[in-house]
Amino acid sequence: MAEKKIPFPSESPLGLALYYDDPGAVPPEEMKFKVAIPVPTETKPIKEGNAAVEELPAAEVAYLTVRGPYTNLEDAYSQLFGWVFSNGFQPTDAAREVYVQWGESMPQEEWVTEIQVPVGR
């Protein structure tokens, strides 16, 4: 980002991850995922090696906000996917974790993560 003069985000969201596989069904070393950082809208698309600037497509999502450490993320995912299926929706793309409030120097109790599942009927 520094080399391309792309500013690092200083406001929420600070980043996100997209998970294409179910961690309960796929070994960690085989998981397909992307880690992403928001960039200014005017940033031009770039593709170099494993890095890219690309637009995340808009989606209707079901979401759940998790406050605190990640020790309860598995339960949060179970609750969210349970709600999705019991309300007649189907996942349409990778689940997303949006890191609303996070920092290595921040107490974990202050972390805020939004889990999103793009959905359709």
Domains of the chain plus CATH, in order, are 15-120 (3.20.80.10)
Q: Do 114 and 63 meet the contact criterion of CB atoms below 8 Å apart?
A: yes
Sign of CA dihedral 38, 39, 45, 48: negative
pTM for the full model? 0.84
CB 101 within 8 A of CB 74: no
Partners of 64 in the beta sheet?
A: 115
Q: Which pLDDT value is given to residue 85?
A: 97
Q: What is the pLDDT along the chain (121 residues), one digit of tens a residue?
A: 888 788 888 778 889 999 998 877 899 899 999 999 999 888 888 888 888 888 888 999 999 999 999 998 889 999 999 999 999 999 999 999 999 998 888 999 999 999 999 999 9
pLDDT score at 98: 95
